[in-house]
Amino acid sequence: MTDLIRIVYISRATFPISAANDGIEPTVARILSTSRTNNRKNGLVGMLYYGDGCFFQCLEGETSKVQALYKTLLKDPRHKDLKVLASEPIKRLSFPDWSMKYVPVDGHMLRLLEEHGFETFDPYRFDHHLVERVMQLLQGVPDPTIPVVEARASAPARTVLAASAPLAETQQAAPDGSAKLSLAISTVALVISLIALTVALDLL
Ligand SMILES: Cc1cc2nc3c(=O)[nH]c(=O)nc-3n(C[C@H](O)[C@H](O)[C@H](O)COP(=O)(O)O)c2cc1C
């Protein structure tokens, strides 16, 4: 059975916070693009949050691959002050469909921070409970940077998971709440495409 691990770490961006708050910061977009390509190749999955100049990232996959990536991350000049908040063995990947899910600042996060007396996203001051709450929030929020269908189609990690887990575990990895939501969104997208096609054919 493959040896799987999850790490959660935080860091501070070294690039200036962009004044434009519409859309994704260009440096973050480049990081995401590289991460998605590399992580797919390496069977890694993860989530990345960026807000107020801080990163919060969760990475899961084979222990040796995650550790190798973390060594690379330590040398990346686009961030500094890396601090591991959690590192633990896991039985299965928590979000096998995401080579790197990106979650931008949104109302849910702002409310959570406010509930805990934070005016900005400052993960260096989070306690264990708040780290857990942030993780839960990141798992539940959709990623606006990538169509759900694409995310589901490009998930070799699911193969790694199925091949490495005993049957009982594989069965337990059946759709959870977010997978059902993804399925519902995919279905709505499909229906909208069919309607658009019908209208286009009518116009011809
Ligand atoms: C906050 C942050 C998160 C990153 N996450 C990943 C990641 O999940 N996977 C990855 O391959 N690279 C990630 N990177 C980029 C790596 O540090 C490194 O630049 C990249 O892996 C090099 O890839 P290349 O050899 O294909 O150029 C991240 C960088 C930063 C600053």
pLDDT tens-digit map of 17-47: 775 556 788 999 999 999 999 999 999 999 9
Please report the pLDDT score of residue 182 as a whole number.
64
Q: Is residue 169 assigned to a domain?
A: yes
Token pair for 36: 């998605």
- Taking CA atoms only, the protein residue closest to ligand 1 atom 12 is 35
CA of 128 to the centre of ligand 1 (A): 26
Number of domains in the chain: 1
Residue 4 contacts residue 65 (beta carbons within 8 Å): no
**Range of the structural domain that residue 18 is part of:** 4-173
pLDDT of residue 180: 62
User: Which of ligand 1's atoms lies nearest the C-alpha of 59?
Assistant: 8
- Residue 199 CA, ligand 1 centroid: distance in Å: 43
10 occurs within a structural domain: yes
DSSP string for the chain: ---EEEEEEEEEE-SPPPS--SS--HHHHHHHHHHHHHHHHHT-EEEEEEETTEEEEEEEEEHHHHHHHHHHHHH-TTEEEEEEEEEEEESS-S-TT-SSEEE---HHHHHHHHHTT-SS--GGG--HHHHHHHHHHHHHS--TTS-HHHHHHS-THHHHHHHHS-HHHHHHTS--HHHHHHHHHHHHHHHHHHHHHHHHHHH-
Mark the ranges of the chain whose per-residue pLDDT is less than 50: 148-176
Establish whether residue 78 lines the binding site of ligand 1, counting it when its CB lies within 6 angstroms of any ligand atom. Answer: yes
Task: Output the pLDDT for position 140.
Answer: 85
**Residue 92, CA atoms < 13 Å, CB-side half-sphere:** 19
Residue 64: inside a domain: yes
- Tell me whether residue 158 is in a domain: yes
Residue 13 counted as domain residue: yes
C-beta of 10 in contact with ligand 1 (< 6 A)? no
| 185 C-beta closer than 6 A to ligand 1 | no
Cα-to-centroid distance, 89 and ligand 1 (Å): 22
pLDDT at 20: 57
End-to-end CA distance of the chain: 56
d(C-alpha 83, C-alpha 106), whole Å: 24
Residue 199 falls within a domain, yes or no? no
pLDDT at 179: 57
Q: Is residue 147 domain-resident?
A: yes
Q: What is the CATH number of the domain that holds 135?
A: 3.30.70.100
Question: What was the pLDDT predicted at 34?
Answer: 95
Does the beta carbon of 76 sit less than 6 angstroms from any atom of ligand 1? Answer: yes
CB atoms within 10 A of CB 34: 10
Query: What is the per-residue pLDDT for 199?
Result: 64
Mutate to test the pocket of ligand 1, among 24, 28, 31 (most ligand atoms within 8 A of CB): 31
* Residue 124 belongs to some domain of the structure: yes
